[in-house]
Amino acid sequence: MKGKVWQQRLSRPLHPAIHALNRSLDYDRRLWPYDLQVSRVWVQALERAGLLSAGELLAISGGLESIREELAAGKFAFSDDDEDIHMAIERRLEELIGSAANKLHTGRSRNDQVATDLHLFCRESGEQVSAALREVIAVLVVLAEAQASQPFPGHTHLQQAEVLSLGHILLAHATALRSDTGLLERTASDAMAACPLGAGALGGSPVAVDRHWIATELGFAAPAPNSIEAVSSRDCALDLLYALSRLGVHLSRLAEDVILWSSIEFGYATLDDATATGSSLLAHKKNPDVFELARGKSGRLIGHLTGLLTTIKGLPGGYNKDLQEDKEPLFDSVDTALGLLAALKPALEGLTFHSARIVAALSPQLKAQRLVAYLVGKGLAFRQAYGVAGALVSRAEKEGVALEALDLDVFQEESELFGADVLELLHQPWVVPDEGVYGGSSVKSVQEQIKELQGWLG
């Protein structure tokens, strides 16, 4: 086998610029463990179908094992002529075991081969990202435990809305990320639903291999039911890119919170020095680059998803070389997510919260909620109580004072239900209530959420 395997079909060698464009080896070499796994099972299937002798099977399997050792040790010599990892392995096999190697590709196409490799990659990567994500969630749960009773401004429209538990807010992020682990794991398992191997170039392998046996041997639930779809589909890559995009969006929202909290204006939190960066010009600066990159890289993750969707959307049936463009975005998204999670773990661990600053930032007008509860407690309907509290906030605002600085007669002008105890109520410090509805911001509910997450983390 000299030069390219398909060279005999064409009268002239491939133009070097086209070879360079066509070649995917630089990035698809990382598929080698899956490619070898696929080939090991393929030759066994050929032997079972009577297409390889026991001796040939032994020779090829032995050669594949030597190749595995060379690749694992970084000692595999790639050639400039190798078009992709599949061709490189086949070329090396011939060098190692001679002509028996020429039977490896019997009844197989790189179309079903690469699709199968990719499914195995998606399974492993989905599980790997999910495991790394669990470690980040565990850090959020530890932070939430320490901050369960820390009052914190909860926003809607970025306006202060309610006093919440800071632990509750941290758990909101943990809960979204937990759901991402579920999506990643489902994506990993979906990738193993239907095995492309044996689909051949597109119409099904021309040799009578047992596709059910192959699927089981490779850990799939079943063989892909339609050979054309099996080689045309990149659903496993799209699904993983979506799961990674959603994870990126959730990490970005978490990052945005931390970026705001660590600004001088907010001052709610500081980053550990080992996780912050400085400025080349401004001596005072301490920057949350890690969180900004988490926010920024979500754009890249979404871009890879939309990029591959766009690549695939107009393709005619069967394999098209466009599909080779699946790998770089997919690999980059997996690496990006793993890199982010590895960096966010210490960055979150290193956060220090500043209770006094947080409490000082709570608007006194948030106590209007206490007025509503007070009046409702005295039998006033909620809507009316809201009206009274709103009028009092408006009066305090006009006078430029806090709600609790208004005189008792002002309260009583708005409603005769107010007694002197209303001022006492307003002067009580901010606390996270002990009890409250399931899933809400009370200390009890936050602790329940923590327990639940701890149980899940194991």
Active site residues: 157, 279
Distance CA 212, CA 230 (A): 14
Q: Which is nearer to ligand ARG, 25 or 142 (CB)?
A: 25
For 162, list phi and psi in degrees, rounded to 5. -150, 155
Nearest by Cα to 163 from 174, 171, 175, 155 = 155
Distance CA 301, CA 409 (A): 59
Q: Which is nearer to ligand ARG, 324 or 447 (CB)?
A: 324
Distance CA 225, CA 310 (A): 25
Distance CA 454, CA 440 (A): 18
Own/partner contacts of 415-424, CB < 8 Å, gap of 24 or more, are 415/375, 415/380, 415/388, 417/374, 417/375, 417/378, 417/379, 417/380, 418/374, 418/375, 422/371, 422/374
One symbol per residue from 266 to 305: x for binding ligand ARG (CB under 6 A), - otherwise; what is it? Answer: ----------------------------------------
Distance CA 46, CA 308 (A): 34
Q: How far is the CB of 337 from ligand ARG (least distance, A)?
A: 22
Among 106, 270, 324, 365, binds ligand ARG (CB under 6 A): 324
For 352, list phi and psi in degrees, rounded to 5. -120, 130
Nearest by Cα to 317 from 226, 198, 202 = 202
**Residue 352 parent element (H or E):** strand 352-353
Q: Does residue 111 touch ligand ARG according to CB under 6 A? A: yes
Among 52, 164, 170, 323, binds ligand ARG (CB under 6 A): 323
Q: How far is the CB of 107 from ligand ARG (least distance, A)?
A: 15
Q: Which is nearer to ligand ARG, 110 or 178 (CB)?
A: 110
**Residue type (1 letter), 194:** A
Q: Which is nearer to ligand ARG, 231 or 294 (CB)?
A: 231
Going by the DSSP 8-state scheme, the letter that residue 442 receives in this structure is S
Q: Which is nearer to ligand ARG, 24 or 415 (CB)?
A: 24
Q: How far is the CB of 6 from ligand ARG (least distance, A)?
A: 8
One symbol per residue from 46 to 85: x for binding ligand ARG (CB under 6 A), - otherwise; what is it? Answer: --------------------------------------x-
Q: How far is the CB of 86 from ligand ARG (least distance, A)?
A: 6
Q: Which is nearer to ligand ARG, 174 or 323 (CB)?
A: 323
Q: How far is the CB of 17 from ligand ARG (least distance, A)?
A: 18
Among 42, 319, 374, 418, binds ligand ARG (CB under 6 A): 319
HSE value, Cβ hemisphere, 13 Å, CA-based, for 227: 16
Q: Does residue 110 touch ligand ARG according to CB under 6 A? A: yes
Q: How far is the CB of 208 from ligand ARG (least distance, A)?
A: 22
Structure token pair of residue 345: 């773990």
Going by the DSSP 8-state scheme, the letter that residue 70 receives in this structure is H
Q: How far is the CB of 343 from ligand ARG (least distance, A)?
A: 30
Residue 196 CB partners (closer than 8 Å, separation 6+): 112, 115, 116, 119, 224, 230, 231, 233
Among 38, 43, 97, 114, binds ligand ARG (CB under 6 A): 114
Q: Does residue 28 touch ligand ARG according to CB under 6 A? A: yes
Q: Which listed range, 68-76, 317-325, 347-355, 378-386, lies at the site for ligand ARG (CB under 6 A)?
A: 317-325
SS3 75: coil
Q: Does residue 24 touch ligand ARG according to CB under 6 A? A: yes
- Give the total of residues touching ligand ARG (CB under 6 A): 9
Q: Which listed range, 106-114, 145-153, 171-179, 344-352, lies at the site for ligand ARG (CB under 6 A)?
A: 106-114
**Residue type (1 letter), 88:** A
For 220, list phi and psi in degrees, rounded to 5. -85, 160
In the complex, which residues of this chain contact ligand ARG (CB under 6 A)?
A: 24, 28, 84, 110-111, 114, 319, 323-324
